[in-house]
Structure 1
């Protein structure tokens, strides 16, 4: 197995993001994404945000994406809504504009949208609060409050860069080709110990930034990490993100460094609930079995595969069974 230098499993962001923690708001907001036009990716120029009241809301929305905990974390200067000090941009990199990194540029156009987790149609504001409550272990933002309006203003502004047909490179994370064997927490532990622990710690505790307002490298498990109801707690979903974005100093946009199997193994280790505690471990979602992703490992299931196989695989037999029955496998 090739040696992997995995620095900052979830929060190793483009350089502008690292620097933003110690710069003024104006310096943060005039940054550009580091995506080249000649590669066919969308480039966002935040210096084009309008200089009016709407623009102020857009700028604050981007700041909230970049420094969520600073503004609305446990010690937030504008409110105390989050239960931990992770930032939205830890997963939605470059404030939701980086390709293949839980990109949010179409979110304004894609909502309202049916969500299997709640088994109902959600507004975009409700989806924002879903993230506040799940990965951040927080309480909902007021729907008409300054912070929610800022998030929605920002999403509306970045949506104008999306083609009319909504199709652009990097809109979704890269797909995973499933191996014939299950993902292995044991193999993942070896990869993590060798390459990840120096940033995230041997106990997955992460590292705070200089003023401890947020994380440079966020926790991957423990009381201040994401809940079981979070998308990152699903092995396939996390592996897709890892393949697309990690290790940050080895991967380039659209050109993975990790193999699919390695990404799955690392995700399996990080999400091994037998050894890694999480906040609110009894969080249960997806009341409709048909809308449940195949890697969501909480019963009841619509098929006869075990919870362990749903979590770690092998996934091919599950997908084949669903296809045979005329069902669309979600993952």
Structure 2
């Protein structure tokens, strides 16, 4: 009974925005969370959708997953969307949803990974299938429309003329290391600084009474699959360096000069501990071989040429055959130039240089 009470108190604290992660000034005045009083009252269709959208995003398992009425579930693991988008998507430098309604307005930005323009619906379902390891949420569903209503409400907090000028919308920018990230060293860091919350098996702490995580699964069967953006080391490190350990790290302090690292993982520790996390078992993205294919994007080059160098799952590019024919599609029977571990853990400087060279050569060859 006492254990369940303690877990309930922790959940209450987490859901009332008492986390220290990603300091409140991270938006630098360019966005301010709208006042709750601006949400229309209960019974108003718009207000009800805003509240429902926030609930779907912060209690995803019970709204769309195994605890919901959806059979089969839409969300395939036990995470909530807010497991990564902290404080219901309102925390600077923690992948906030502050202006996603504007960024992903139709037609949205092009994604070479999934070969399409990313509207809000596409963005949601990319996460549903990758981070949540599930299936697409119907675009006309009440839940989808409610997510969009919540995002539209958040966008009213913008204090600048263009959404591109809002600060703190991603994660901290952390320079690449010149060595490969070390999952062995990272294992010791994980044990000392992460295991208390995320547990030795990576499954986090689950509150059986509330049917939700207190601390989320970051590896194991109930975590994100390897097609998720957070599986890529160069994406994940900026998030954990600025926001972990949860309740202690403060991304606004990490950007100070000199940085205040008293409660943060160091940058080197962040690289290595995340290398350990992505080295552990997790679900596999079912369409991994389709990502970054041979279709051309709006930049005029095949999507595979833009594959993130740290995407640690096949197919791996470039292939050796490309060195003799700039216009040839990648021959998957030809060996990959770089090993899977180099893609996954780096270092990436030579890979990035070759990627740029390939794109330049392709354009210069005027390939059809």
Instruction: State how far apart, in whole Å, the 2-side matches of 1:34 and 1:324 are.
Output: 39
Q: Deviations over 1:72-110 (max 9, x none)?
A: 210215773221221010001111121111122221111
Aligned to 1:82: 75
Q: How much has 1:120 moved relative to structure 2?
A: 1.5
Aligned to 1:165: 162
Question: In 1, are the aligned partners of 2:26 and 2:92 still within 8 Å (CA)?
Answer: no
Give the counterpart of 1:40 among 16, 23, 29.
Answer: 29
Q: How much has 1:260 moved relative to structure 2?
A: 2.0
Question: In 2, are the aligned partners of 1:228 and 1:283 still within 8 Å (CA)?
Answer: no
Deviates more, 1:74-83 or 1:142-151: 74-83
Q: Given the alignment of the two structures, is residue 318 of structure 1 paired with residue 351 of structure 2, yes or no?
A: yes
Q: Given the alignment of the two structures, is residue 133 of structure 1 paired with residue 129 of structure 2, yes or no?
A: yes
Instruction: State how far apart, in whole Å, the 1-side matches of 2:287 and 2:253 are.
Output: 35
Q: Deviations over 1:154-207 (max 9, x none)?
A: 111111222222112211111111121110001110100112112211111211
Q: How much has 1:34 moved relative to structure 2?
A: 7.5
Matches within 5 A, 1:159-308: 159-162=155-158, 163-166=160-163, 167-256=165-254, 257-272=264-279, 276-280=280-284, 283-284=287-288, 285-287=291-293, 288-297=303-312, 298-302=314-318, 304-308=337-341
Instruction: State how far apart, in whole Å, the 1-side matches of 2:9 and 2:162 are.
Output: 30
> Kindly tell me: are residues 152 and 292 of structure 1, through their superposed partners in 2, closer, same or farther at Cα, counting changes over 3 Å?
same
Q: How much has 1:244 moved relative to structure 2?
A: 1.7
- Specify the SS of the correspondent of 1:58: helix
Q: How much has 1:323 moved relative to structure 2?
A: 4.0
Question: In 2, are the aligned partners of 1:107 and 1:155 still within 8 Å (CA)?
Answer: yes
Question: In 2, are the aligned partners of 1:58 and 1:153 still within 8 Å (CA)?
Answer: yes
Question: In 2, are the aligned partners of 1:108 and 1:152 still within 8 Å (CA)?
Answer: yes
Deviates more, 1:203-212 or 1:37-46: 37-46
Q: Deviations over 1:218-267 (max 9, x none)?
A: 11212111111111111111111111211123312322322222111111
> Kindly tell me: are residues 76 and 38 of structure 1, through their superposed partners in 2, closer, same or farther at Cα, counting changes over 3 Å?
closer
Q: How much has 1:316 moved relative to structure 2?
A: 2.0
Question: In 1, are the aligned partners of 2:28 and 2:167 still within 8 Å (CA)?
Answer: no
Instruction: State how far apart, in whole Å, the 2-side matches of 1:124 and 1:103 are.
Output: 14
Which of the two has higher C-alpha Rg? 2
Instruction: State how far apart, in whole Å, the 2-side matches of 1:282 and 1:152 are.
Output: 27
Instruction: State how far apart, in whole Å, the 2-side matches of 1:37 and 1:282 are.
Output: 36
Question: In 2, are the aligned partners of 1:35 and 1:42 still within 8 Å (CA)?
Answer: no
Q: How much has 1:46 moved relative to structure 2?
A: 2.5
> Kindly tell me: are residues 132 and 326 of structure 1, through their superposed partners in 2, closer, same or farther at Cα, counting changes over 3 Å?
closer
Question: In 1, are the aligned partners of 2:26 and 2:93 still within 8 Å (CA)?
Answer: no
Give the counterpart of 2:59 among 59, 62, 67.
Answer: 67
Question: In 2, are the aligned partners of 1:206 and 1:218 still within 8 Å (CA)?
Answer: yes
Q: How much has 1:305 moved relative to structure 2?
A: 2.8
Q: How much has 1:210 moved relative to structure 2?
A: 4.8
Aligned to 1:56: 48
Question: In 2, are the aligned partners of 1:91 and 1:102 still within 8 Å (CA)?
Answer: yes
Instruction: State how far apart, in whole Å, the 2-side matches of 1:75 and 1:186 are.
Output: 36
Could you tell me which runs of 5 or more consecutive residues in structure 2 were left unpaired when the two chains were aligned. Answer: 1-7, 255-263, 294-302, 320-336, 361-368
Q: Given the alignment of the two structures, is residue 106 of structure 1 paired with residue 99 of structure 2, yes or no?
A: yes
Question: In 1, are the aligned partners of 2:305 and 2:318 still within 8 Å (CA)?
Answer: yes
Deviates more, 1:93-102 or 1:303-312: 303-312
Q: How much has 1:215 moved relative to structure 2?
A: 0.8
